[in-house]
Amino acid sequence: MPSTSPAGTFPAHTPAASQIFTTVLTHGPLTRQEAARRAGLSPAAVTKAVRPLIEAGFLVEDAGAEVRPAVGRPANPVRVDGGRALFAGLKATGDELIGVLTDLCCRIRVARRVPLPGRTPSEVLPVVADLVRELLTEAEGFGVRVLGLGIAVAGDVDRTAGTVRRSPFLDWRDVPLAGLAAEATGLPVTVDNDVRALTVAEQWFGDGVGLADFAVVTVGAGIGCGLVVHGRVVSGAHGVAGEIGHVPVVPDGPPCHCGDRGCLEAVASDAAITARVREVTGVPVVDAADALALARQGNAGARAVYARAGEAIGRGIATVANLLGPERVIISGEGLAAYDLFAGQIRDAFAAAAFGSAARCEIRTRPLPFEEWARGAAATAIQSFVGR
């Protein structure tokens, strides 16, 4: 529906071309040979696919890239011109909207956050429209068009249909967000679950590049998990997967809002940690920052709470690793601010609970700037644009 002018047209009409573009996008500058090898195609196919992409400006020859054994004709690497296109990404929480403008390589160019006046779709959508308009204005400064918008929402989201089926924080049910936002902004819109969006960003632009099986675990207000199996993000048969928050991890642990006891989320979420620190130390901390500060001051009780949380996270990750055998688990989330307080426990608990080969799984952490969720949304928009 939005104007598909020559500028917005992506000249990769065959699956192979799409695949080659994705390979170059995710694996940095690549010679045509190397790209062919990685994509499992012939060099000839790469030459043919690459030409229109260069002509359209999405790829550029990159003479300055790595030089290798200098014998024979020098290679002529190709890379994606990130500046060729921009994408907008939005993350909606219950009370604010975070928006970023990224380039085609998903590097953040602009970031914004605005409060939400309310939670109903009719209150949120105007803010979305305003924020996107603002981002589009910024984009003019770069002289490049914005080719897509991604929106990340916590909860049960059907990306294909573009609808938010259920969002606890926004209290939405069956909102056709993609359609509404497309109408309000004039951009092609991709809507996805927030953790999945973050996982997509890792898969294409982060620590998941090149891996067919990995997991992303987010620690913060809740504990989330995004899974990639067979090279594809898992959505489950009913559109929901990665519910790691209610894996039982602590024998006879604290009661969880789900009705069970000792769930990961009842031990390691921000709220759980804060409450527990209050209970153990008697200090009336009110949020995660308070609790963290107290622990950093050396308060033994608070530190023990973090240690227990770390152990729980480690066991939760071990459960994922035992079931799926991923090559790597990436830990991220706002809760990572406390990483130094539970890193050891995570690793120890993981090692103790990972069975056999699952222990070969690498654990990696990745800081999470506040715009990262919105960047994930932009990554889904890029993915849609490239046609994967």
Partner DNA sequence: CGCCTTATTTTCCACTGTCAATGAAAGAGG
Partner DNA sequence: CCTCTTTCATTGACAGTGGAAAATAAGGCG
Please provide the distance, in angstroms rounded to a whole number, between the alpha carbons at the two ends of the chain.
20
Binding segment for DNA (CB under 7 A), chosen from 48-56, 81-89, 111-119, 377-385, is 48-56
Selected binder of a second copy within 315, 331, 384, 385 (CB under 8 A): 315
Q: If DSSP codes are grouped into helix, strand and coil, which group holds residue 190? A: strand
Q: Is residue 51 involved in binding a second copy (CB under 8 A)?
A: no
66 vs 171 by CB, closer to DNA: 66
227 touches, from DNA, a second copy, none (C-beta below 5 to 8 Å by class): a second copy
Which has the closest alpha carbon to 347: 332, 334, 333, 359?
A: 359
How far apart CA 244 and CA 37 sit, in angstroms, is: 37
Residue type, 329: V
How far apart CA 189 and CA 14 sit, in angstroms, is: 22
Angle of CA points 108, 129, 149, to nearest 5° = 45
17 touches, from a second copy, DNA, none (C-beta below 5 to 8 Å by class): DNA
75 vs 234 by CB, closer to a second copy: 234
Each residue 130-169 as x (binds a second copy by CB under 8 A) or -, in order, gives --------------------------x---------x---
Contact set for DNA, span 296-355 (CB under 7 A):
none
> Torsion angle of alpha carbons 74, 78, 81, 85, nearest 10°?
160
How far apart CA 308 and CA 133 sit, in angstroms, is: 45
How far apart CA 151 and CA 306 sit, in angstroms, is: 33
Longest alpha-carbon distance in the chain: 72
238 touches, from a second copy, DNA, none (C-beta below 5 to 8 Å by class): a second copy
63 vs 258 by CB, closer to a second copy: 258
115 vs 251 by CB, closer to a second copy: 251
Phi, psi of 9 (to 5 degrees): -85, 135
What residues are paired with 193 via a beta bridge?
153
Q: Is residue 47 involved in binding DNA (CB under 7 A)?
A: yes
136 touches, from DNA, a second copy, none (C-beta below 5 to 8 Å by class): none
Q: Is residue 331 involved in binding a second copy (CB under 8 A)?
A: no
Please provide the size of the chain in residues.
388
Selected binder of a second copy within 84, 91, 246, 278 (CB under 8 A): 246
Selected binder of DNA within 22, 31, 190, 269 (CB under 7 A): 31
For residue 142, count other CB atoms closer than 10 A to its CB. 15
226 touches, from a second copy, DNA, none (C-beta below 5 to 8 Å by class): none
77 vs 248 by CB, closer to DNA: 77
Query: Contact at 8 Å (CB) between 31 and 75?
Result: yes
160 touches, from DNA, a second copy, none (C-beta below 5 to 8 Å by class): none
How far apart CA 290 and CA 309 sit, in angstroms, is: 16
List contacts with DNA (CB under 7 A). Answer: 13-17, 31-34, 40-51, 69-77
Query: What is the contact surface with a second copy in residues (CB under 8 A)?
Result: 156, 166, 211-214, 225, 227, 229-230, 232, 234-253, 258-262, 315, 319-320, 322-327, 352-353, 355-358, 360-361
